[in-house]
Chain A
């Protein structure tokens, strides 16, 4: 069985244990779940290392490799936040998300191709790594928003902002967690854009040429920029606080959709044929 399939299975098992943990609340299940998740992450990482050695270049030269790297970064961001915030059920869905990304990767062409000259650059390395960490954070914020919206209707009468002792942040306060995740990911996204621009300048002679891939990465960036600025205007508009939280959560769901469209969906655009940066169009 390939490492990818093992990773996939471990993520699934981790997800199940996370759900079990919600029922049998114990320290043991918590560590088993997290342990499994970290094991899955390690397998994921091992594949990437093995692949780089086999291919002789960093493991994100095509869509197949990039997707697996994306899954790995999503898992990494989750693990980092789990240690800081004690997330509970988020792990179950984070594992599912990483698993889905891997599953999508297995549908792609896995062959190792020689990389084209333009990809041989350290800027590209910095660009992809920062971008993927940003994407990973947005992936987890997608999950926290999803859970927030799901528990919202049941959490009306309870007092917000108070978390039960020892159980970490309650799902009804996940909107704050989403904000923290976006705040964590946004600098990475910005760094990714800047390093991408510098790389494009070196390789293609222009740091910005309104290529569809560039434009959509700007759209992604703007979407999260809106999210980060709206809390500043909400108090001035007569919108009830909890409604505002719901709206922001929905906005994050949409924004993550944009992220994934920028990543894998651009081939569907009519302008894709002219692009220099879209996977598979070279």
Chain B
């Protein structure tokens, strides 16, 4: 026992002389192939080769290399086979050298003792793995084929880069045919994620969906708490009346074209106060007046609220009636203003009478100390010019009442005041045709048209009640109710996964998006049948990680038709080197465990035995 331990130490002069005797004059060559120095050098060169093989793109076409590296470098890389490092002649040479080294050192060190097991196993296993690799390279094939459901194939295609550096497909025949009886694609439940976005930091972060937990958004002052979650939500918006005070008066108007309801909807005095039907050349307006007197003042006139322009300069404001081409002087200044034209819908090229009245604007010309400026002033976007380059930025111009100047052939005005006085006025060709008081649920005929209007509901304080309804327990269209806490206080809102737009926090710097992470595939399987000489010989349902093997060919599930899901992508591999490589794998595992765990353990035991 004791002698064996000694032999195993590195001072093996005796053995070396013994080897020299046997090998005679060729000892220099022999020593060279046995040396650890050679081993280390080979391993280092291989390491560098491996690095190059991942830094330089491998096995691309010559065109791609020329595009990426330029012609000169591309040619150099090709001639040195750096474009195909792992299958190059010089890499093969390295591997042969490695093999020779492994075999020689194993032979030289060969002593028939148990403690050597690991050393022999590891070194020879590498030789086995390399031989397995060579067999694979020489005799193996690897390719793919797409099979449609109900069809069969008896060939597959392999890819090769040919001598000229072009991609080439080679058809290989199979000694049997593969029939695809069925292809099944199983999808996972769709998943959703809540993403936060901090605009001034341009930072996105996925938040947890956890009820009641306050989450700090990293790198910011925002905090998000999810207060409710519905897996399959639908938003219902229901108009409600919140109080009897006329804060936001609204009426529900029905428009009848010969007995049938042709149109109906809410008109809100403060925002959407008119309905237009261009075909019928009709307009219905809902006008809320603050008192009885005001109503009396306007009810008899076909004219509307005076359209006007307001001009503000350093705190001082002046109003001008809308009068085209008239020049106004801004009192006490050098500015003059002229109204050039007005439209009901900016950007609409049709004649004024045909434009819907949803984006009224006036074009004005300003003459001032620094010259002329022409700008558009929008009724609905009073701040628009602040955000756009203007010469006279300090001059703030707004307009109002422009939409009201629109006159359809028939206009119906529905007036109402807080005192409860309500009048309906029909105007035809800019002349008043009829004035009547109106009541709920009564129909009023518009003179000479055969059409009727009816107010069927009045809400003094109109609001939307938004309600989220749970449609099912399945995760389909989830929604969350989130509270965001930030510099502008707390805000709560529903966020729907069906909404592709972000939900912004009051300060417009923070947003939440609740989005689908895309459907993913949980499994895809192919029911295959191998047919040989017209007879089914094997049947198997294959899936990723579970291939079918027949006559040395292994058939793998590798892909599928991403669009229709109608074909199955199979990979077909034949590798006769597998048994050799796998025995190498087994040997190397046993070998390393032996060297680094079993051998030290045995040595310790021996040492103890010797000491006793």
Contacts and interface: CB of A to CB of B under 8 A. Distances in A.
Interface of A: 109-114, 116-118, 120-121, 183-184, 186-187, 190-191, 194, 197-198, 201-208, 210, 212, 215-216, 218-219, 222-223, 225-226, 229-230, 232-233, 235-237, 266, 269-271, 274
Given A114-B191, A204-B558, A233-B35, 4 more contacts: A117-B522, A202-B547, A222-B50, A271-B57
A179 B55 CA distance: 31
A113 to B, nearest CB: 7
Nearest to A190: B592
Contacts of B520: 113-114, 116
A205 B140 CA distance: 12
Given A117-B524, A187-B597, A198 B585 contact: yes
Given A204-B556, A222-B46, A190 B573 contact: no
B585 A197 contact: yes
Contacts of B53: 210, 215
Interface string B589-603: 100110111001000
A240 to B, nearest CB: 18
Contacts of A212: 54
A109 B582 CA distance: 37
For B44, B556, B571, the residue with the greatest tally of chain A CB atoms inside 10 Å of its CB is B556
A111 B206 contact: yes
Contacts of B556: 203-205
Contacts of B523: 117
Given A190-B589, A194-B589, A205 B547 contact: yes
For A110, A111, A223, A225, the residue with the greatest tally of chain B CB atoms inside 10 Å of its CB is A111
Contact of B54 (A186, A190, A216): A216
A111 B58 CA distance: 34
27 contacts: A117-B521, A117-B524, A183-B600, A186-B592, A187-B596, A187-B597, A191-B592, A194-B589, A202-B545, A202-B547, A203-B544, A203-B545, A203-B556, A205-B142, A205-B573, A210-B86, A216-B54, A219-B47, A222-B43, A222-B46, A223-B47, A229-B43, A230-B40, A233-B36, A269-B55, A270-B57, A271-B55
B522 A114 contact: yes
Given A111-B517, A118-B545, A198-B585, A215 B50 contact: yes
Contacts of B543: 117
Interface string B543-558: 1111100000010101
Interface string B1-25: 0000000001000000000000000
Contacts of A204: 556, 558, 571
Given A187-B597, A204-B556, A110 B206 contact: yes
Contacts of A215: 50, 53-54, 86
A117 B585 contact: no
Contacts of B517: 111, 113
A197 B132 CA distance: 13
Contacts of B39: 229
Interface string B53-69: 11111100000000000
Given A114-B188, A187-B593, A205 B50 contact: no
Given A226-B40, A235-B10, A117 B593 contact: no
A183 B86 contact: no
A219 B44 contact: no
B196 to A, nearest CB: 13
